[in-house]
Amino acid sequence: MNSSVSLVASSVESDNLTRSGRGVRTPWQRKYSHVVAAVDTAVIAAAVFGAQVAWLGPDPVHVASAPVTYTAVSFGLAAAWLAALFLRGTRQPRVIGYGAAEYRLILAASMQMFGLVSIVAYLSDAELSRGYFLLSLPLGTAGLLCGRLLSRRWLSRRRAAGAMSTRVVLVGAADENERVAGELSRQPSAGLHVVGVLALSRAGSGPAWSDEEANALRECLATSGADGVLVSGGAVLQPADIRRIGWSLDSGRHHLIVAMNLIDVAGPRLHTRPVAGLPLVHVETPQFSATQRVLKRVFDIAGAGVLVLALAPVFAVLALLVRASGPGPVFFRQERVGQGGAHFGMLKFRSMIDGADARLQELLAEQGREGTPLFKIDNDPRITPVGRWLRKYSLDELPQLFNVLGGQMSLVGPRPQRDAEVEFYDDDAHRRLMVRPGMSGLWQVSGRSALAWDDAIRLDLFYVENWSLVGDIVILARTFKAVVAPGDTAH
């Protein structure tokens, strides 16, 4: 096998290079875990003791039929909550900083801990204050989730600067290395920073992994200061080769990561189970059970209903602005393709001059976009001044809350497109139509109008294949941020 080694130049902050007395870098997970633990402690203390003061007042109060004060109970409850988060593994290195598993574990730990407390209180006849359950549980859980989200934002900023990431050397065929490096560079928040590349190519019937490649890998690891090796694929490597790569790493210092030939599969659908010495990876097929559909529909109705009531004054003001912007109706109704290919009328506040659709093909032809997907016009002359402002902050989309209540749309999902755009779908893209279209979606919060067609389809398919209620909540939170601070990609 022939090999070539290259080091990837990078700018790394000093705290990513701090070393212990043994000459080994302190893992970023340990430092970040300390930050998260401090945030968790502050949130839980505020939630528990805040509930005590708000419900019982600032003066010390004894628990009825028990020789302890509520201050002692609050200390015990806070300690038990922190212990539950620890025992559920919410700060394990494989959990923190990326993915939705961290949030699910926090929810599970909080609910189970308070469930256990209620059972103990019932069995011991202790008249525990209801304030802990009515205030501490919901506010504390929400605070923990927000705290983890803010911690991730801080972590992402550090990773964007090159710090607090796992530094890896890619090993595999040149094309596999390029594919994996490209995906990692697009998602720096994943925390894998490529600092070296060992490109392999098979030559004749020679050994698959020789001493020459092993020596080259050790030299690359020492020179780059990498934390581990990421095997990018199996085109030129056999299972025995990957085992030998693992043997060549320093135990306890270097880690071996193997990239599977799977794309767009979220963590909850992946399960590993060693069988007869084989590390089998179980990939659950996407499931759209009746329970999931009911849960998503209840979430949509509740969310849309609350928003319609809360934003009623905003609807009235926007309707007056649209009416004053020029002749034409206040609402614009356009036929879009929904779930299963069914057509429906999608509502918007009118942001263009009346009869704007008649000029679409003409403008597409002028800008050389005729026969291409995503019918977006740069500097569209049909948009009114009021409409341009509505579009920048996505306020023209608010009437789609009535589409959500009517069952044609969801709060989160792939954006509904026109028949002419659906004609560009290949077999893979048609899977977008398996779910209700959404007011917001994964690709809208990942780049809005700046994303290319292929990237938009890829993100929508990832959403369809890996739907979860927690994921919907995260997308809605990111949508709110995109509306408040739309940036340069909003059109």
Residue pLDDT, tens place only, 189-231: 778 888 888 888 766 555 557 778 888 888 888 888 888 888 8
Q: pLDDT tens, 252-283? A: 778 888 887 666 665 566 666 666 666 677 66
pLDDT of residue 57: 79
Same domain, 114 and 257: no
DSSP class of residue 431?
A: G
Does 286 score more than 70 pLDDT? no
Which residue, 130, 159, 188, sits at the end of a domain?
159
Same domain, 80 and 118: yes
- Residues of the domain holding 321: 290-484
Q: Quick check: 480 and 441 in contact, CB under 8 A?
A: no
More confident residue, 382 or 279: 382
Tell me what the mean pLDDT of segment 235-242 comes to.
78
Answer whether residue 171 is part of any domain.
yes
Same domain, 299 and 423: yes
Pairing of strands 192-201, 270-275: unpaired
Q: Look up the pTM and report it.
A: 0.63
Q: Quick check: 50 and 199 in contact, CB under 8 A?
A: no
Mean per-residue pLDDT of the chain: 81
Same domain, 174 and 251: yes
Lowest mean pLDDT among 141-145, 331-335, 458-462: 458-462
Same domain, 145 and 192: no
pLDDT of residue 98: 75
**Using CA atoms, how far apart are residues 382 and 387, in angstroms rounded to an integer?**
9
Lowest mean pLDDT among 14-23, 101-110, 138-147, 162-171: 14-23
Answer whether residue 267 is part of any domain.
no
Lowest mean pLDDT among 105-109, 249-253, 409-413, 472-476: 249-253
Same domain, 123 and 93: yes
Same domain, 208 and 114: no
Same domain, 249 and 113: no
**Using CA atoms, how far apart are residues 398 and 338, in angstroms rounded to an integer?**
18
pLDDT of residue 200: 82
CATH number at residue 221: 3.40.50.2300
Same domain, 137 and 175: no
Q: pLDDT tens, 62-90? A: 666 666 787 888 899 999 999 999 999 99
End-to-end CA distance of the chain: 51
pLDDT band at 407 (very low <50, low <70, confident <90, very high): very high
For the ranges 25-39, 152-166, 263-277, 304-318, the maximum mean pLDDT occurs at 304-318
Number of compact structural domains in the chain: 3
State phi, psi for 183 to the nearest 5 degrees. -65, -40
Same domain, 458 and 345: yes
Same domain, 362 and 385: yes
Tell me what the mean pLDDT of segment 433-456 comes to.
78
**Using CA atoms, how far apart are residues 442 and 125, in angstroms rounded to an integer?**
49
pLDDT band at 148 (very low <50, low <70, confident <90, very high): very high
The C-alpha angle with vertex 174 and arms to 169 and 176, in degrees rounded to 5, equals: 80
pLDDT of residue 282: 67
Which residue, 104, 130, 159, sits at the end of a domain?
159
- The structure tokens listed for 29 are 């997970």
Using alpha carbons, select from 480, 346, 484 the residue that is nearest to residue 414.
346
Q: Quick check: 37 and 91 in contact, CB under 8 A?
A: yes
**What residues are paired with 347 via a beta bridge?**
333
- The structure tokens listed for 266 are 């979220």
pLDDT of residue 16: 45
Using alpha carbons, select from 125, 18, 108, 144 the residue that is nearest to residue 63.
125
Answer whether residue 299 is part of any domain.
yes
What percentage of the chain exceeds 70 in pLDDT? 78
Answer whether residue 23 is part of any domain.
no
Q: How many helices (H) and strands (E) does the chain have?
A: 16, 11
The SS3 call for residue 380 is: coil
Answer whether residue 280 is part of any domain.
no
Answer whether residue 49 is part of any domain.
yes
Answer whether residue 361 is part of any domain.
yes
Answer whether residue 318 is part of any domain.
yes
More confident residue, 3 or 116: 116
Which residue, 114, 129, 159, sits at the end of a domain?
159
Tell me what the mean pLDDT of segment 17-34 comes to.
62
CA trace torsion 243, 247, 251, 254 (10° rounding): -70
Contacts of 402 (CB under 8 A, 6+ apart): 304, 308, 347
pLDDT band at 397 (very low <50, low <70, confident <90, very high): very high
pLDDT band at 22 (very low <50, low <70, confident <90, very high): very low
Q: State the greatest distance between any 2 C-alpha atoms of the chain, in Å, as a whole number.
A: 83
Same domain, 255 and 328: no
More confident residue, 82 or 236: 82
